[in-house]
Amino acid sequence: MGKPSPKRDGFRPAASWEVLRLRAGLFRQIREFFDRRGFLEVETPLLSADTVVDRHLDPFLVETNTARSAATDGSSPRWLQTSPEFAMKRLLAAGGEAIYQITKAFRQGEFGPLHNPEFTIVEWYRVGDDMASGIGLLGELAVELLQCPPPQVATYRQVFLEHLSLDPLTADAAELERAARTRLTSVPESFAADDRDGWLDLLLSECIQPRLGRDRPVVICDYPASQAALAMIRPTDPPVAARFELFAQGLELANGYLELLDAEVLRDRIKSANAWRLRDGKQALPETNRLLAAMEAGLPRCVGVALGLDRVVMLRAGESDIRRVMAFPFDIA
């Protein structure tokens, strides 16, 4: 045995065997959890011609060898999936009822103590669910995986009122900006005055989220309609998105929707997300995809949720850096 040297030891994993065993145990627990409830485990492509169009998600583009793939209708470039959402909904429109998978997702530029550009998602869909049963199922899984009491449920509006005495659904951009400037030592100078959602994100992630889920996890629901992403909008006054998120120990763990079913609305949202992307100096993403066809054929009413598995491992292992819960994080991959 020689002396340890950084160069010679550069092949070693960032996570301990203890953490890797904990990870493997969680995989087993998740499969048992969904098997017991009659879910079918599915697999969907990581490389797809389609990609989710979100203002703040940047997919990796993979060039294809056109000479070889033209014959198989593979001449268009492929996107590494930022989540398996589109393909899983195609399965639902084709007769899937309760499906889940544990898969990799890829997001460009996301690297930090809570982010790795390649990470592991647990994603599931169940036809027939509504907000309450969808949140209920997420709560049951959280209790099993985190060994915690059942999550408390609060609306987006309630947490803003409680922590900031501010109504996030009615406050205008100027009020949100004032709230951010009085509470934070620094706000990005490039934030546009009219970027309501930008100010809401800043307030949520800087002023509220660190205090969420300290004693027990919390599910936040009824997001502003402008942040619906792929969720239905509920025609309340003001309207809210049928979207929910799970937080524990200040960490964002899961995101779920009562899924949007209307293809026309999805087309509009994709266009509007692309308009923001162009405004933000980013590239527009494809506006056509096979999910639109699936929705036109008929996507049944369902709830879908994605859970970030690496962060669950972090909480279980007591690690504060995501690098320490994966064998080979991005910088040593």
Instruction: Enumerate binding residues for another protein (CB under 8 A).
Output: 54, 56-57, 109-115, 184-191, 197-198, 201-202, 204-206, 209, 227, 229, 245, 252, 255, 280-282, 308
Using CA atoms, how far apart are residues 119 and 106, in angstroms rounded to an integer? 6
Using CA atoms, how far apart are residues 304 and 110, in angstroms rounded to an integer? 23
In whole angstroms, how close is the CB of 132 to another protein at the nearest point?
A: 22
Q: Which is nearer to another protein, 57 or 169 (CB)?
A: 57
In whole angstroms, how close is the CB of 71 to another protein at the nearest point?
A: 37
Inter-helix orientation angle 85-93/290-298, to 10°:
30
Helix (H) or strand (E) holding 87: helix 85-93
Q: Which is nearer to another protein, 73 or 189 (CB)?
A: 189
In whole angstroms, how close is the CB of 307 to another protein at the nearest point?
A: 11
In whole angstroms, how close is the CB of 255 to another protein at the nearest point?
A: 5
Q: Which is nearer to another protein, 111 or 328 (CB)?
A: 111
Would you give the DSSP letter of residue 15? S
Helix (H) or strand (E) holding 161: helix 156-164
Q: Which neighbouring-strand residues pair with 224?
A: 240
In whole angstroms, how close is the CB of 111 to another protein at the nearest point?
A: 6
Using CA atoms, how far apart are residues 82 and 114, in angstroms rounded to an integer? 16
Q: Which is nearer to another protein, 149 or 250 (CB)?
A: 250
In whole angstroms, how close is the CB of 198 to another protein at the nearest point?
A: 5
Q: Which two tokens stand for residue 216?
A: 């027990």
Whether the CB-CB separation of 51 and 61 falls below 8 Å is answered with no
In whole angstroms, how close is the CB of 195 to another protein at the nearest point?
A: 8
Using CA atoms, how far apart are residues 31 and 232, in angstroms rounded to an integer? 28
Which of helix, strand or coil describes residue 318? coil
In whole angstroms, how close is the CB of 18 to another protein at the nearest point?
A: 27
Name the one residue in this structure whose structure tokens are 């309340």.
236
Q: Which is nearer to another protein, 87 or 251 (CB)?
A: 251
Render 190-247 in DSSP notation, one character per residue: T--TT-HHHHHHHHIIIIIGGGTTSSS-EEEEEEEGGG-TTB-EE--SS-EEEEEEEE
Using CA atoms, how far apart are residues 117 and 327, in angstroms rounded to an integer? 14
Q: Which is nearer to another protein, 98 or 315 (CB)?
A: 315
Would you give the DSSP letter of residue 283? P
Using CA atoms, how far apart are residues 53 and 287, in angstroms rounded to an integer? 8
C-alpha dist (Å) from residue 19 to 23, 148, 174, 175, 322: 6, 19, 46, 45, 11
In whole angstroms, how close is the CB of 109 to another protein at the nearest point?
A: 6
Q: Which is nearer to another protein, 209 or 249 (CB)?
A: 209
Q: Which is nearer to another protein, 140 or 206 (CB)?
A: 206
Q: Which is nearer to another protein, 87 or 212 (CB)?
A: 212
